[in-house]
Chains A and B, each alone.
Chain A
Amino acid sequence: MNVLFHLLIMSGIYIILALSLNLLLGYAGLFSVGHGAFYGIGAYTAAILATKLGFPFWGEILAAACVAGFFGFLIGFPTLRLRGDYLALATFGFAVILYSVFNNWDALTRGPLGIRGIPRVAFLGLEFKDLWSYAILVGIFVFITIFCIRRFTRSAFGKVLEAIREDDIAALAIGKNIARFKVLAFIISAFFAGVAGVLYAHYVTFIDPASFVIQESFLIFSMVIFGGMGSIGGSVLGAAILVILPEALRYLGLPSAIAANMRQMIFGGLIVFIINWRPEGLLGKSKL
């Protein structure tokens, strides 16, 4: 039973991550591969606020998401002029630099030792100590995220993002401030990734830089590609499948080291397969 709740919680966290990245990849056409960085910022901010300053949960999640959003601005703004693969390189570099910072800034992040003893969530007089109650809390955040992303993408804002993706010069010509929209997309996307980071930090109660390596970013990325870019249902499905599928490998009786590598091989193979033969993913619409 506990395994089920664990899977639900992890799927929920990755669904939030995949949805937020999908806003960039699928809707704005901004090719960011360093999404794990915002996730890490959210988790570290939450861990530091909770263990050192004793923030309440609601204040902490708001603060951490805003810090992540601010980093979204820091990355989104200078990279405005970059397109396609150059943006990918810049975001890739950003994610590795942040990993380096997590790993080396001992005074703040305690380096490779990580931060221990992040308290369980207590919120509105409720304590989310059990797995099932935490799963419900994560579920609530998943629904909030789905709701917000849906609202964003169906609003005029989302339509402008799609217009920028399809033809940025045409969007500019009809008087849309494309720079502002792109930066805003980055901020919103990073904000939700930060929320996912907070939920993760409070779930595992111990975070270290190893949780935010570049492979983590690639994993989130492959969830979006697998589910289909520009599809909310696709991101939900893609994240859930890619979280649950590797767990199934464990039940085949493989040793954990082999299972972990098999899992990575499946991810890698899947990315190559999808991008070559089914670029629209499971549920997406966009064709290459």
Chain B
Amino acid sequence: MFVQLIINSVIAGSIYTLLALGFTIIYGTLNFFNMAHGIAYALGAYFSYVFRIKLGLALPLAFSLSALVTALTMVGVDRIAYHHLRTRRAPSWALVVSSIGVAIFIESFLSLFFGSDTRSLRLGEATPGYSFFGAIITPVQIWILVVSGILMILLTIYLKMTLMGKALRATSNDPEMSSIVGIHTESIYRSTFALGSALAAIAGSLVALETDVYPTMGHAALLQSIVASIIGGVGNVPGAVFGSFFLGFAENFGIWKMSASWKDGIALILLILFILIRPAISGMEQKK
């Protein structure tokens, strides 16, 4: 039981990491809580569903295409819903409101287009899991670990070593200064959006291999990305990884003793605790 809980926590933590990394780099550069982040997750799962089940593409291809299409969609959304506010230097809550509108719009569009019933990415019989110190781990879960591990490493390389990554970090530090030294900040904003959404889309596709695809699947994902990023300090990349695993362990060990329906409750209590207490501990900067 104990080993099983640890495995479940690590797998949940890896998915949350993909979500929280996207959420946190979007917050870091664009400076607002993207309430439409869960939508990128749901869109990713639906696009994978279309590519994999409807068009019968190979899984890796379907996933990559889905990430790409989700990223492009979100860049389009950025142009319509956020670009104007950004150029007008609207306060960050206006962007939050706009992203709530985006989330409602796309979610109801998904439910209109695909129907509100659940769909699945699974093909055929569920594969039996491997036994591992008395716990069970399924092949899909191993894939989740591998893919999210690779993506985490790639993202770190991108942020730390490439010119684009440096430009991204510079922009999130000081957009005005960055544009003075010749960084095209608008394209940084767009590419950050694309990158963050693509990560969420892959998380959604991976989860869809195990569970179902449905229009409101983004709610829980949004919650998890918010909580994981807040725990680690929003905008902080290593913090997001830590926060994700912290959340994964807290949820899984929490429901050990409680009913599983309280899982979201645990995440939210962590959210409120960290929002209220963390600034006092670490002097977390609150941007106006």
Contact = CB atoms under 8 A, between A and B. Distances in A.
A288 interface: yes
Nearest to A100: B265
Interface string A78-95: 110111111011100110
Contact of A79 (B111, B262, B276): B276
B150 interface: no
B100 interface: yes
A192 interface: no
B149 to A, nearest CB: 29
A219 to B, nearest CB: 9
A270 B101 contact: yes
A97 B269 contact: yes
Interface in A29-73: 31, 33
A284 interface: no
B81 interface: yes
A82 B275 contact: yes
Contact of A257 (B102, B105, B116): B116
B101 A275 contact: yes
Interface stretch (B2-10, B43-51, B90-98): B90-98
Contact of A276 (B84, B107, B272, B288): B84
Nearest to A29: B93
A81 B105 contact: no
Interface of B: 32-33, 80-81, 84-85, 88, 90-94, 96-98, 100-109, 111-112, 115-116, 219, 223, 226, 230, 259, 261-262, 264-265, 268-269, 271-272, 275-276, 279, 286-288
Nearest to A215: B104
A277 B94 CA distance: 11
A214 B105 contact: no
> Interface of chain A, helix or strand or loop or mixed?
helix
B251 to A, nearest CB: 13
A97 B265 contact: yes
Given A90-B276, A100-B262, A268 B33 contact: no
A275 B85 contact: yes
A78 B109 contact: no
A79 B107 CA distance: 30
A273 B248 CA distance: 37
Contacts of B272: 90, 93-94, 97
Contact of A85 (B92, B109, B116): B92
Given A103-B261, A267-B101, 8 more contacts: A83-B288, A84-B286, A89-B271, A94-B268, A94-B272, A262-B112, A267-B105, A277-B84
B101 to A, nearest CB: 3
A88 B93 contact: yes
A122 B105 CA distance: 41
Interface of A: 31, 33, 78-79, 81-86, 88-90, 93-94, 96-97, 100-101, 103-104, 214-215, 218, 221-222, 225, 257-258, 261-265, 267-273, 275-277, 279, 288
B105 A269 contact: yes
B262 A104 contact: yes
Nearest to B270: A93
B94 A275 contact: yes
Contact of A271 (B101, B115, B276): B101
A83 to B, nearest CB: 6
Contacts of B98: 271-272, 275-276
A268 B84 contact: no
Nearest to B220: A96
A217 to B, nearest CB: 10
B138 to A, nearest CB: 28
B81 A276 contact: yes
Interface pairs A-B: 7 shortest CB-CB: A268-B105, A271-B101, A268-B104, A264-B108, A272-B101, A261-B112, A100-B265
Contacts of B288: 83-84
A96 B272 CA distance: 11
Nearest to B27: A85
A201 B286 CA distance: 39
A83 B28 CA distance: 18
B104 A86 contact: no
B105 A104 contact: no
A84 B85 contact: no
| B97, B261, B272, B275: residue with the most chain A Cβ atoms closer than 10 Å | B97
A88 B91 contact: no
Given A81-B279, A96-B264, A272 B88 contact: no
Contacts of A279: 90, 94
A221 B92 CA distance: 16
Contacts of B81: 272, 276
A255 B98 CA distance: 29
A216 B144 CA distance: 34
Nearest to B106: A268
| B100, B112, B115, B226: residue with the most chain A Cβ atoms closer than 10 Å | B100
Given A31-B93, A225-B97, A265-B112, A93 B105 contact: no
A93 B266 CA distance: 11
A263 B108 CA distance: 9
A261 B97 CA distance: 20
B118 to A, nearest CB: 15
Contacts of A273: 101
Contacts of B106: 268
